[in-house]
Structure 1
Amino acid sequence: MSLKHLLLVGLLAFVAACSTNKTVIDESLSESELYRKAQTDLDAENFGPAIETLRALESRYPFGRYADQAQLELIYAYYENMEPEAATASADRFIRLHPQHPNVDYAYYIRGLASFTRDRGIFERFLPLDMTRRDPGAARDSFNDFAQLINRYPNSQYAPDARLRMVYLRNLLADYDAHVGHYYLKRGAYLAAANRGRYIVENYQQTPAVGNGLALMVAGYDRLAMHDLADSALETLKLNYPEHPALVKGKFKHHVEPSQPEMNWMESMSVSAMDVLTAPPPRTAKTQMQRQMDREYQDAVAALPREVRVHDEEGRRSFWNRITFGLID
C-alpha cells in the first residue's frame, strides 16, 4: 500500500474519531419536539445526533404517535451513519414487532442494503480492492434479504432497486466461485476445480462467470484424463463463448485467471463495486402525520357529490382542483 493511501485512510479515521461527540437530549422536550429535532438532524445529515434523539423518542414515548415512524427513521439513520450491524438489528426488531405494518417492506429493504455495504468500510470504500475475492457472506445475506423483500412484497416501491442489486450480487457470487475454482486448479485439486466450475454453470446461468466455469471444467477434467467430459465442456465453451481468453485460435489453453484492471487511488474513490447502483437509499415512507393528512384528503374527496368533482380531459386533476377538493379547476 502506498504512502498516499495510508495518509488518506489515516485522515478519514481521524475525522471520524473527532466527530463522535455524545449528544445530550433535553429531558423537557415533548414527543413532537423530539420528533421535529430528529427530522432536522436527518435533513442536515447529522446522523449521530439524529440517532440519539430517535432513541430518546422511542424510549420516552414507546406508544406515542411517532413510535413506529421513529423506529423506521432509526433504521435509516444507522445505515447512513455507516453502522450496518445496528441497522440490521433495528430492521429485524421492527419486522418482528410490526409484521403487518404498511411500511415493513422498507425495513426489509434497508436490511438488504445494510448487508450490501457491511464489508465496505473505510478501506474497501476508498482503496482498489476486488470484492469478488472477499468472503461472500455479506453478499449472500444481502441477496437473501432482497429475495425476501421481492417474494413478500413484489409490488413494493423498493422491489425494482432490490432486483437490480440482486443481479449485481449474483454476478459477484459467481465471480467469487470462479476465483475459488482457479485456486483449486493452481493447487492441483483438479476434481474440486471441475466441480466448482460445474456448480457455476448450473447455478449462475446468464452471468459472465459461466464462461470461466466451463473453462474450469475443461481444465479440471483434462488433468483428470476424463476426456469425454472435457471435450463436451470445451465444445460448449467454443459455442457460447468463442472470445473467452482460454481459447486461443480455437484451441484450449489451460486457463489462467484473468487479472483485474488496476485503478489509481482517485478512480477508486469514485468508481467501486457499488457504483453499479449509485442512487442513495430513500428516507422512510411517509410519516404518520402525512399519512393521516392523505387519509383525510381521500375521505373528503369521497364525500363530495359526484356532480362537483371536476376532472380534466385526461382524468388528471390540477393543483387548484386538488387543494379545493374539486370545487375549483
Structure 2
Amino acid sequence: MRRAAIGASHGALATLLGLTLAGCNTTPTDETAGMSTEKLYGEAKDEASVGNWERATMLYGRLEARAAGTPLAQQAQLDLAYAFYRSGEKAQAETTIERFIKLHPSSPALDYAYYLQGLINFNENLGLLGSLARQDLSERDQRASRDAYQSFRQLVQQFPDSKYAADAQLRMNYIVNTLAQYEVHVARYYYRRGAYVAAANRAQQAVQEFQSAPATEEALYIMTLAYDRLSLPDLRDDARRVLTQSFPQSSYVTQGFAAADKPWWQLW
C-alpha cells in the first residue's frame, strides 16, 4: 500500500512537472504569420486610421522586417515613424526617420521624410500651448526648435517645389521668431536681476541674429534701459533711435514691459 502511494505521488509529480515545462516552452502566437505583406499593410493602415497607434506601430514594424528590400518596406518605415510620432514616442520616431534618411538618400519620399523629421521636433514646442498655460514658448529648451529648423531648411533648400515646402517655410519663420523671443526672454531675465551688461549683450545678440523677428522691438527697448543703467548715454540714445525708427508706433515707449504681456505667436 505504501509503495503504491509513493508510486502515485511520483506519477503526479512527473505529470505536474511535465505540464510546467510545457507551459514554459509555449511561445506567443504571431497572428500576422499567415498574412501577405499587402494584407499586413492594409491592417496597419486601418489601425492608424482610427488612432490605434500602438497596434499600428507593431504592424508596421513587422511589415518592415517582412518586406525588407522592397519599396513597401520603405513605405512601412515612413509610416512607422509617423505612428511613433503620433503616439508620443518622440525618441523612437526620431530614430526611425533618421534611419530612413540615412538608408534611402535618393528616395522620392525624401522631402516628406525631412518634413516629418521637422514635425517630430516642432510638435514639442506646441505642447505647452495645448495645456493653455501662460508660460512663453521661448522659455523652453530651444534645442528641439533648432533641430526642427534644420530639417525644414533641408526640405526647402533641396526640394523647393515640394508640396511640403510652403508649410515648412511657415514653420521656419515661426521657429525664428521663437528663438528670437528666447534671447529676449533671457535678456529680460538679466535686466530684472540687475545684470545690465549681460542684458544688453543678450538683447543685442537678438537684434543682430533675428532682425526681422517681432522680438527685436523689445530687445531694443531692453538695450535702452540697460545702457541707461550702465551710464552709457551714447549707446542708449542709439538704441532708442533705432527703436523709434524701426517701430514708430512701439508700445514699449509708453507701456514698458507691460507691452510684452501679449504673446506674438498664432496657431494655425
What is the TM-score normalised by the length of structure 2?
Answer: 0.82
CA distance in 2, matches of 1:24, 1:222: 72
Distance 1:182 1:176, change over 3 A: same
- Evaluate the alpha carbon distance shift between residue 179 and residue 67 of structure 1 in structure 2; reply closer, same or farther with a 3 A threshold: same
Instruction: Classify 1:207/1:120 alpha carbon distance in 2 versus 1 (closer, same or farther; 3 Å).
Output: closer
What is the rounded CA distance, in whole Å, between the counterparts of 1:132 and 1:174 in structure 2?
A: 8
2:80 is equivalent to residue 79 of structure 1: no
Shift of 1:85: 2.0
Match of 1:66 among 48, 66, 72: 72
Q: Kindly indicate whether residue 39 of structure 2 is the aligned counterpart of residue 33 of structure 1.
A: yes
User: Is contact 1:85-1:118 (8 Å) kept?
Assistant: no
Which whole-Å CA distance do the structure 1 matches of 2:31 and 2:248 have between them?
Answer: 65
Tell me whether 1:139 sits opposite 2:157 in the alignment. no
Q: Pairwise mapping of residues 99-118 of structure 1 onto structure 2 (< 5 A)?
A: 99-118=105-124
Q: Is the 8 A contact 2:252 2:259 kept in 1?
A: no
2:182 equivalent among 155, 176, 185: 176
* Counterpart selection for 1:165 from 168, 171, 183: 171
Find runs of 4+ consecutive structure 1 residues off by over 4 angstroms.
Answer: none
Instruction: Report the structure number with the largest CA radius of gyration.
Output: 2
Query: Once the 2 structures are TM-superposed, how far is the Cα of residue 164 of structure 1 from its aligned partner?
Result: 0.4
Alignment CA distance shift 1:65-1:182 (3 Å): closer
Using CA pairs under 8 Å that are at least 6 residues apart, name the structure with larger relative contact order, 1 or 2: 1
Measured after TM superposition, the shift of residue 223 of structure 1 is 1.4
Checking the alignment, whether the CA contact within 8 Å between 1:218 and 1:231 is kept in structure 2 is yes
Secondary structure at 2:169 match in 1: helix
- Number of matched pairs: 239
- Aligned equivalents of 2:30 and 2:131: distance in 1? 33
User: What is the CA–CA distance in structure 2 between the aligned matches of 1:88 and 1:158, rounded to whole Å?
Assistant: 19
Tell me the equivalent position of 1:195.
201
1:185 deviation in Å? 0.6
Shift of residue 261, structure 1, vs aligned partner: 4.9
Q: 1:132 Cα deviation (Å)? A: 1.9
Q: Is 1:185 matched with 2:191?
A: yes
CA distance in 1 between partners of 2:120 and 2:31 (Å): 27
CA shift, 1:174, in A, is 0.9
Report the RMSD for the aligned CA atoms in angstroms.
Answer: 2.3
TM-score in terms of structure 1 length: 0.67
CA distance in 2: counterparts of 1:261 and 1:238, whole angstroms? 20
The structure in which a higher percent of residues are helix is 2
Q: CA contact under 8 A between 1:146 and 1:162: conserved in structure 2? A: yes
Are 2:126 and 1:126 aligned? no
Deviation at 1:150, TM superposition (A): 1.1
Instruction: State whether structure 2 residue 159 is matched by structure 1 residue 153.
Output: yes
Q: CA deviation at 1:240?
A: 2.0
Whole-Å separation in 1 of the counterparts to 2:225 and 2:155: 39
Shift of 1:83: 2.0
Unmatched 5+ stretches in structure 1: 1-22, 263-271, 278-329
**8 Å contact from structure 1 (residues 118, 138) kept in 2:** yes
Residue 217 of structure 1 contacts residue 230 of structure 1 at CA under 8 Å; is this kept in 2? yes
Deviation sequence 1:235-262 (CA, Å, 0-9, x none): 11122223323313xxxx8x43645359
